A and B are shown apart, each in its own frame.
Chain A
Amino acid sequence: MAANKGPRNATPIKASRQKQERVRRVAGAHSARTSLQDRFRSWRQHHQDSFKDALQRLNAARTSSAMTILVIAIALALPAGLAVLLDNARAITRGWDGNAHLSVFMEMNISEQRQRDLARGWQGLDNISRTEVITREQALAEFKALSGFGDVLEALPDNPLPPLIVVYPDETDPVTLRALENRLAEADGVDLVQLDVEWVRRLHALIELGERLISALTLALAAAVVLVVVNTIRLAIESRREEIVVVKIVGGTDGFVRRPFLYSGFCFGFAGGATAVILVQVALWWLGGPIDELLALYNSEESLTSMAASSLIILPVFSGILGLLGAWLAVGRHLGDIEPNF
């Protein structure tokens, strides 16, 4: 008598054998006697149906769905677009890193031959990829040509410019450069070493700051996407209250009730993410001309690169997962409130 699964035809049925068989079969069809394969098939079928149903509902309420999708798209396009711009900035400065160099000013009385010997000797040292010799005469000529103070220099009795060796490092990380700077400063015949990487480091710091800001922005806007979906699904649950009641009365499991809403949430998220991709691409196309022009003015050969191909997939999927999460939260919070009553 307890909660075990007693024989289903234990109750006396005043009926033909055939009828008994039917009752037994029917009673069994939804419990122990449903084969695993059948259950899996109907489970998969319901997933397909829920997905189709979610798409149809999206389409049926086109205007409000479009609004929700656009809100999600805008929320995601902002950090995604900024991330693309930042990627571009990083790529460009990677090129600029190659120009990092140390200007090694030699003592004034050093001979030109000695200067060349030293430069050649340094080329074999660690972390130095090449050196370039600029003699006092070359420096003077260059200064005259570039500065416009040629006449003033003519008036001076001696060439005031020191001999210079430009050292190009093979590594550009700040620690290596600093160590190289110290080593060169103690070398024979060296007066002063000047490291021209401060601006590169500042730029790197700025880029890092940008990355942090985008991360924070992404988190905040991802939360916004989840909340938008929570609200949308909450309204959907409310508008389908009657259906949920009926489904529960005729024996629908919580999973069965939940599934269409989870698919809806995923669809909202995915469509929002896909729309965000389009928004970003359009914005990049719109900005592409002026940015390339700006880069050309900075003598850069880089041009604006758009989103990585993988992002085209990752963004909608990520957004779909956010939608799923939002739907899950909404369902968990509101589905329990709806119970049949009579």
Chain B
Amino acid sequence: MIQFDRVSKRYPNGKDALSKVSFTLPAGQLTFLTGHSGAGKSTLLKLIMMLERPTQGQVLIDNQNLNGFGNRQIPLLRRKIGMVHQNHQLLFDRTVFDNVALPLIIAGYARSDIGKRVRAALDKVGLLDKEKLNPIMLSGGEQQRVGIARAVVNKPPLLLADEPTGNLDPALSEEIMDLFKDFARVGVAVLIATHDLSLIARYNHRLLTLREGRLVHDGDEGGHHGS
């Protein structure tokens, strides 16, 4: 689903954020991405979202080389990617339903279809009864689940999460992780960027570790951190 082929990114200020990073994420796999602040996690996510372009190397999503994408194709790429943010990025001027419906409206789904799909996504994250509320009335964990519902509502083949459990207690984190595992089980490639080593330790999933822009570890969690 995602392929990085010797990808380097140097910012205009001369900082090398990524150096010759190569890996492949297949569909249906849940993968953690970790590393200290500044190790290149955000840059890696930005390259996948085409918020940045690589200085060298190739990024392939769904077998398509992003280097060949013009700016007009970027929105179409992003519709294939569900993105979950640490700060949820919800809009507080509209209901939970309207927040989740946004990707469908943008992608041009028929009105009749939107209601069904939004409710299915809200049902999946256990918030079906909150669709008419403003997200500001929800707890942090519930807001994060609305964010997840929005990320998966158009069933993208790829799900990215940036510190999805950053502000949540362990029990809530576990709920969120269970959701991600469910999505991986139905064929979605899930990539979770996180600092949370205890979270990583609790699940035996593939782990990519970045240090100063280099991929220094690629394997299951046990091989790197012990347990």
Residues of A within 8 A of B (CB): 1-6, 8, 10-15, 19-20, 22-23, 26-27, 29-31, 34, 38-39, 41-43, 45-46, 49, 242-243, 245-254, 256, 339-342
Contact = CB atoms under 8 A, between A and B. Distances in A.
Contacts of A245: 89
Interface in B58-76: 60, 62-69, 72, 75-76
A29 B62 contact: no
Interface of B: 1, 26-28, 42, 45-46, 49, 51, 60, 62-69, 72, 75-80, 83, 85-86, 89-91, 93, 102-103, 105-111, 150, 154-157, 162, 186-187
A12 B76 contact: no
B51 A30 contact: no
B68 A2 contact: yes
A250 B106 contact: yes
Contacts of A251: 75-79, 103, 106-107
A250 B80 CA distance: 9
Contact of B79 (A15, A30, A42): A30
Nearest to B111: A45
Nearest to B163: A342
Given A249-B83, A251-B75, A14 B187 contact: yes
A43 B220 CA distance: 46
A38 B76 contact: no
A43 B109 CA distance: 10
Top 4 A-B residue pairs of the complex, sorted by shortest distance between their CB atoms: A3-B68, A42-B108, A251-B79, A26-B155
Contacts of A46: 105, 108
Contacts of A22: 155
Nearest to A24: B157
B107 A30 contact: yes
A39 B109 CA distance: 8
A19 B186 contact: yes
Contacts of B110: 38, 41-42
Contacts of A30: 76, 79-80, 107-108, 154
